[in-house]
Amino acid sequence: MRKWKLFTKIQNYLHVFFASLTLAFIILLFVFKDSLNELASQSVRSQIGADAITPQRAIADSLFNYKKNGLSYSVTFLEFGATGCSSCRQMEQVMEDIREQYPQKAQVVFLNILKPENQEMMKYYGIAAIPTQVLLDNEGNEYFRHTGYLPANQLIKELFR
């Protein structure tokens, strides 16, 4: 009987220990999510071969370098996502708000990562999770990246900083 009580007590302590360990792990994941996402993005970028980087760089340059292509936009807002993703659907309204408020300043581009024609661009930018917002300056250089839902007011602050 005494052994049984000891066993039950140890079992209870183990439950508390593993629950605490799980909670600590979840907190650490949340705290380091940006670092983990950057690591995953670097991994995705490293998977694209050198023979694929040059054409993707040329495509991105021709589309988003407004000093070269003569378009008048000052920034590009790339939204990488999918139509079946709930956070991506929330970002649709944000994209629409940016299009309406800044039609001459910001080019808004949605890239559905499920479409084969967008896979290479996704790899080129190192997209590891969706939705991901990438902001480019008027020369096509990335200056901001965020993964997850980002409200329009916060995105606007980043667009024109």
Q: Residue 104: inside a domain, yes or no?
A: yes
Q: Residue 4: inside a domain, yes or no?
A: no
Which pLDDT value is given to residue 112? 96
Q: Identify the three-state secondary structure at position 131.
A: coil
Which pLDDT value is given to residue 19? 85
Asked if pLDDT for residue 50 goes beyond 90, the answer is no
Place of tokens 């995705």: 44
- Among 28-32, 57-61, 86-90, 156-160, where is mean pLDDT lowest? 28-32
Q: Which domain holds residue 58?
A: 33-159
Q: Residue 155: inside a domain, yes or no?
A: yes
Which pLDDT value is given to residue 141? 95
Q: State the amino acid at position 14 in one-letter form.
A: L
The CATH number of whichever domain residue 80 belongs to comes to: 3.40.30.10
Do 139 and 145 form a contact (C-beta atoms < 8 A)? no
**Number of domains making up the chain:** 1
Write the pLDDT tens digit of every residue in 69-121: 989 999 999 999 998 889 999 999 999 999 999 999 999 999 999 999 999 89
Mean pLDDT of the 29-54 span = 74
Q: Render the burial of 103-125: b for 16+ CB within 10 Å, e for the rest.
A: eeebbbbbbbbeeeebeebbbbb
